[in-house]
Chain A
Amino acid sequence: MKEDYKMDTREKNIENLKDYKYGFTTDIENIKAPKGLNENVIKFISNIKKEPKWMLDFRLKAFERFKLLKEPDWQKPKYPKIDYQDLYYYSAPKSMKDKPKSLDELDPKLLETYNKLGIPLQEQARLNGIAVDAVFDSVSVATTFKGELTKHGIIFCSMSEAIQKHPDLVKKYLGTVIPTTDHFFATLNSAVFTDGSFVYIPEGVKCPMELSTYFRINASETGQFERTLIIADKGSYVSYLEGCTAPMRDENQLHAANVELIALDDAEIKYSTVQNWYPGDENGKGGIYNFVTKRGLCKGKNSKISWTQVETGSAITWKYPSCILKGDNSIGEFYSIAITNNHQKADTGTKMIHLGKNTKSKIISKGISAGFSDMTYRGLVDINSKAKNSSNYTQCDSLLMGNKCGAHTVPYIKNKNFDSNVAHEATTSKISEEQLHYCQQRGLNPEEAVGLIVNGFCKEVLQQLPMEFAVEAQKLVGISLEGSVG
């Protein structure tokens, strides 16, 4: 990453534009479940992962429910019908069948992939002090920094490992925020999820380092269904980062993950995402359908959950990271930058559900659309009649570049409590000629000028990201908008 900066950034960026940086595939033999979705496939997944019976029951229960559900169609970005029987629901690198004990045992090809992605696991482990869990296609391949974390009693491992080693915790919390009876994609995930990350921070522990997961879809015609569960026990703190990439493929790929966060009394969870799935080519061919369910529960008093997301990739992004503010005095935050270019589409936002007294929430959303893209902010602020003295502040700003794209704002505001305050603001505008002129006068070319202005527009959100991610995100913002000026 540091090297990149030495290069002429602009040249580098254009190179990136021509070629989605993460568009390579890795030639690794995979084990796949038979194509299609049925009870046998679910049993196959459960079996290959050597899951206990209760886990299989959980999946089957979800599948029973799934059969009754209809695919939702109220969203703005429409997509061609997905044939759920024409997907592989499990794909794992063959060499992973017997899990490696340490990084040294990893398939060198896999390591190479992660190096290409800019997450050299070993190096990162040493230099940055960030613990990384990497999920390749559907299986978690490596978790670094285990020793340091164990010392604090922190559990950070793949979901499959957690099911084996910490069944009590998983059983207690899995599905409590996103139940098996939830909406279409969440239920599908409950039935077929393959892996993901599991984090447990014990009482009173401040996690000494950032935890991070990298997701990658490699095989074709696979759906990625990972499930993440983070539990912050009383008085603990954790900051969690998530990054995603996928190779360039002509067909669309489905990514339907579930992320559940649970914060108990006085705990705080900070969840940051930089999503850079393959967005399809400039004609809108290929790309990832990113239909993710993310939901956090502030279960205890004085708890806090904060979502930060930078969404630059995916053909279609459709997600609403939400907070259920159940504990008194709990706080929910949502910071988002969503950028769509070419034929990308995004329908994203958040839900803040205030149930406890004195709960507070803040939403800052910045949407930028260029090319032929379409961007929607859709949000819900619901203040329950029992949520005395609660408050919400929402700001959503959109920036449009060109008249072939669209920017939409659809906030729902429900205030059932007279002690509570809700404020909402939204603006839509374009980059003014004066601003551009000013920057160009000072020697920036138009693209650099736009990059600078956009970064300024997004600053409020970028500030919320942890340092290492902020740099990457800032770069992504620039790259995503290449070619949109003129």
Chain B
Amino acid sequence: MKEQLKIDFNKIQEVSNFSNRDIEIKKSYLNKFIENGFPNRKQENWKFLDINQIISNNISDLSFYNDYSIENKIDPSIFIDDLEHNKIIFINGRVEKIDFTYEDKKQIEIIEDSYTIDKSENNNSLIDLNIALSNKHFKILIKKDYSLKKPLIIYHLSNEKMKSKNINLRLDFELEQNSSLKLIDFFSDNSEKNFMNIFYNFNLDRDAILKNYKIDKSLNKNLKYSFNNIDQKQNSISETFVFSAGSDYFKNEINCNLEGEYSSAFINGIFSLDDNKQHEIRTTINHLVENTKSYQLIKSVLGKNTKSAYQGRIYVDSKAQKTDGYQLSKAILLDETSEFNAKPELEIYADDVKCSHGSASGSLDDNSIFYLMSRGLNYKQAKGLLINGFLLDVIEKITDAEIKDLLKKMIGLKK
């Protein structure tokens, strides 16, 4: 793999026009990645699902080079049509279109090729890989006091041309004071056996609001990793929702730094898995100052041969008095081959805090099934009704009515 990486890295540098300084930085990250390789289960954060093993089992001859010179055809049938929206379209990792039709162009700035530095200093080799190999990346800046009129949907599409490839994507978002953004990540794949590595960096200034919805619904045989880093200033709010179902492997990591007083973070997630799928959500909420709040709710429904994992960490600094932190994860195991893992972790250094977590897993309640069947539903309907009710709880947490409806329709909870 090492040789392949170096060859592909050089190929990428040949076709793109990075500055020397950028190339140097990228090189240092590449070396870091080569040294550490893909993360494996020996690392605490990868204990439950070992990406190294999953990649080697699923993808042989992973290649890191993508030819971005050829334009891909956009298939408009894929677009979500019940909702007016702005678009960014990625096909096979290439930006095909950036379209902010509904917005005031003066209020949004798209900065190309912004300077690459990973300030989070984490020991995450996938971020190293991302920085080393990602093509040009964009920074989207939303100016002071501007709220986007319509949501922005980022389409992550892929077609059959792509196979055994690694794609590295990166986007930065800067939300200035009192601005707001609704962002939907929509995944749809016509390819298989690729590894996609997505890295978003959000910077929320005072009073800014970010709502990010990630929808991975269409069935595919790709492996995906997504990392969201969210830095939050005073009074800002972030809401992240993950619907994790379609890919063979999907790990969502969300890292929230609550740096300003009265800032809050909400993370809600659904795993709806069947047929050999392995998904994970890992969250880290760092409460760094007083009066911050976080809330997390993760629910799983697990079918045959599936595995889901939730690792949630709440860190409360000794300065962060009056923190309110809450975590709840629940799982329904439908088959004897399904597996649920959780590690809800609290790390607390301040005494005037309210932190709690809960986790529960088990099978569908027999009494409830009996109740519904005695009222004339068949087993399948009864089961479906119970599962929908279980998941609806999470969907109801979505604060945007329009998007809530859209999601309900997608999942089949509403006609």
Report A-chain residues with C-beta under 8 Å of the C-beta of B344.
409, 411, 413, 424, 426
> Which residue among A405, A413, A423 has the maximum number of chain B CB atoms within 10 Å of its CB?
A413
Contact A426 B346 (CB under 8 A): yes
Rounded to whole angstroms, the CA-CA distance of A420 and B333 in the bound complex is 9
Which one of A404, A408, A413, A415 lies within 8 Å of B348 (CB-CB)? A408
Which one of A403, A408, A416, A420 lies within 8 Å of B318 (CB-CB)? A403
Contact B356 A415 (CB under 8 A): no
A404 nearest CB neighbor, chain B only: B318
Rounded to whole angstroms, the CA-CA distance of A27 and B211 in the bound complex is 70
> Which residue among B318, B341, B346, B357 has the maximum number of chain A CB atoms within 10 Å of its CB?
B346
Contact B333 A428 (CB under 8 A): no
Report B-chain residues with C-beta under 8 Å of the C-beta of A417.
333, 336
Q: Do A401 and B351 contact each other (CB < 8 Å), given the known contacts A413-B341, A415-B341, A424-B360? A: yes
A419-442 interface with B by 8 A CB criterion: 419-430
> Which residue among B345, B351, B352, B357 has the maximum number of chain A CB atoms within 10 Å of its CB?
B351
B44 nearest CB neighbor, chain A only: A74
Report B-chain residues with C-beta under 8 Å of the C-beta of A401.
351
Report A-chain residues with C-beta under 8 Å of the C-beta of B264.
none
User: A181: CB under 8 A from chain B?
Assistant: no
User: B331: CB under 8 A from chain A?
Assistant: yes
Contact A422 B361 (CB under 8 A): yes
Tell me if B's interface is mostly helix, strand, loop or mixed: strand
User: B166: CB under 8 A from chain A?
Assistant: no
Report A-chain residues with C-beta under 8 Å of the C-beta of B362.
415, 418, 420-422
Minimum distance in angstroms from B101 CB to a CB of chain A: 47
Q: Do A415 and B333 contact each other (CB < 8 Å), given the known contacts A430-B351, A430-B352? A: yes
Contact A425 B356 (CB under 8 A): yes
Contact B343 A410 (CB under 8 A): yes
Tell me if A's interface is mostly helix, strand, loop or mixed: strand
Contact B336 A426 (CB under 8 A): no
Contact A411 B360 (CB under 8 A): no
Rounded to whole angstroms, the CA-CA distance of A122 and B307 in the bound complex is 59
Report B-chain residues with C-beta under 8 Å of the C-beta of A412.
341-343
Report A-chain residues with C-beta under 8 Å of the C-beta of B357.
409, 424-426
Minimum distance in angstroms from B92 CB to a CB of chain A: 37
User: B402: CB under 8 A from chain A?
Assistant: no
A402 nearest CB neighbor, chain B only: B351
Report A-chain residues with C-beta under 8 Å of the C-beta of B337.
385
Report B-chain residues with C-beta under 8 Å of the C-beta of A194.
none
Report A-chain residues with C-beta under 8 Å of the C-beta of B348.
398, 400, 406-408, 428
Size category of the B interface is 35 or more
Contact B359 A411 (CB under 8 A): yes
User: B372: CB under 8 A from chain A?
Assistant: no
A348-393 interface with B by 8 A CB criterion: 385
User: B347: CB under 8 A from chain A?
Assistant: yes
User: A414: CB under 8 A from chain B?
Assistant: yes
User: B354: CB under 8 A from chain A?
Assistant: yes
Q: Do A423 and B345 contact each other (CB < 8 Å), given the known contacts A74-B44, A418-B335, A418-B336? A: no
Minimum distance in angstroms from A70 CB to a CB of chain B: 13
Contact A409 B346 (CB under 8 A): yes
B342 nearest CB neighbor, chain A only: A413
Contact A419 B363 (CB under 8 A): yes
Which one of B343, B347, B353, B361 lies within 8 Å of A408 (CB-CB)? B347
User: B321: CB under 8 A from chain A?
Assistant: yes
How does the 8 Å CB contact mask read for B322-347 relative to A, with 1 for contact and 0 for none?
A: 00000000010111111111111111
Rounded to whole angstroms, the CA-CA distance of A410 and B359 in the bound complex is 12
Rounded to whole angstroms, the CA-CA distance of A418 and B334 in the bound complex is 6
Contact B321 A403 (CB under 8 A): yes
Rounded to whole angstroms, the CA-CA distance of A292 and B345 in the bound complex is 24
Rounded to whole angstroms, the CA-CA distance of A410 and B355 in the bound complex is 13
Report A-chain residues with C-beta under 8 Å of the C-beta of B44.
74
Q: Do A428 and B355 contact each other (CB < 8 Å), given the known contacts A398-B348, A415-B339? A: yes
> Which residue among A398, A420, A426 has the maximum number of chain B CB atoms within 10 Å of its CB?
A426
B143-163 interface with A by 8 A CB criterion: none
Minimum distance in angstroms from B395 CB to a CB of chain A: 23
B303-325 interface with A by 8 A CB criterion: 318, 321
Rounded to whole angstroms, the CA-CA distance of A411 and B343 in the bound complex is 5
Report B-chain residues with C-beta under 8 Å of the C-beta of A414.
339-341
A37-91 interface with B by 8 A CB criterion: 74
Contact B353 A429 (CB under 8 A): yes
Report A-chain residues with C-beta under 8 Å of the C-beta of B358.
423-426
A424 nearest CB neighbor, chain B only: B359
B356 nearest CB neighbor, chain A only: A427
Contact A428 B346 (CB under 8 A): yes
How does the 8 Å CB contact mask read for B348-380 relative to A, with 1 for contact and 0 for none?
A: 111111111111111100000000000000000
Minimum distance in angstroms from B303 CB to a CB of chain A: 10
Contact A406 B335 (CB under 8 A): no
How does the 8 Å CB contact mask read for B231-253 relative to A, with 1 for contact and 0 for none?
A: 00000000000000000000000
Which one of A385, A408, A426 lies within 8 Å of B356 (CB-CB)? A426
A393 nearest CB neighbor, chain B only: B360
Rounded to whole angstroms, the CA-CA distance of A326 and B346 in the bound complex is 31
Report A-chain residues with C-beta under 8 Å of the C-beta of B321.
403
Rounded to whole angstroms, the CA-CA distance of A427 and B357 in the bound complex is 7
B327 nearest CB neighbor, chain A only: A426
> Which residue among B318, B321, B338, B348 has the maximum number of chain A CB atoms within 10 Å of its CB?
B348
Contact B341 A427 (CB under 8 A): no
Report A-chain residues with C-beta under 8 Å of the C-beta of B340.
413-415
Rounded to whole angstroms, the CA-CA distance of A84 and B361 in the bound complex is 44
Contact B343 A405 (CB under 8 A): no
Report A-chain residues with C-beta under 8 Å of the C-beta of B346.
398, 407-410, 426, 428
Contact A405 B351 (CB under 8 A): yes
Minimum distance in angstroms from A446 CB to a CB of chain B: 15
Rounded to whole angstroms, the CA-CA distance of A109 and B342 in the bound complex is 54
Contact A415 B353 (CB under 8 A): no
A429-465 interface with B by 8 A CB criterion: 429-430
Report B-chain residues with C-beta under 8 Å of the C-beta of A404.
318
Rounded to whole angstroms, the CA-CA distance of A69 and B355 in the bound complex is 38
Minimum distance in angstroms from A332 CB to a CB of chain B: 18
Rounded to whole angstroms, the CA-CA distance of A467 and B194 in the bound complex is 63
Rounded to whole angstroms, the CA-CA distance of A417 and B360 in the bound complex is 13
Report A-chain residues with C-beta under 8 Å of the C-beta of B355.
427-429
Contact B360 A385 (CB under 8 A): no
B357 nearest CB neighbor, chain A only: A426
A389 nearest CB neighbor, chain B only: B363
Rounded to whole angstroms, the CA-CA distance of A404 and B348 in the bound complex is 10
Minimum distance in angstroms from A422 CB to a CB of chain B: 5
Report B-chain residues with C-beta under 8 Å of the C-beta of A400.
348, 350-351, 353
Report B-chain residues with C-beta under 8 Å of the C-beta of A420.
361-363
Rounded to whole angstroms, the CA-CA distance of A236 and B318 in the bound complex is 50
| Sample of 9 A–B contacts (CB below 8 Å) | A400-B353, A406-B348, A407-B346, A412-B343, A416-B339, A418-B334, A420-B363, A428-B354, A429-B355
**Residues of B that sit less than 8 Å from A by CB:** 44, 318, 321, 331, 333-363
**Which 6 A-B pairs have CB atoms at the shortest separation, nearest pair first?**
A418-B333, A421-B362, A400-B351, A424-B359, A413-B342, A409-B346
**Residues of A that sit less than 8 Å from B by CB:** 74, 385, 398, 400-430
Q: A403-B350, A411-B344, A418-B338 are in contact. List 4 more A-B contacts (CB 8 A).
A: A410-B345, A412-B343, A415-B361, A419-B363
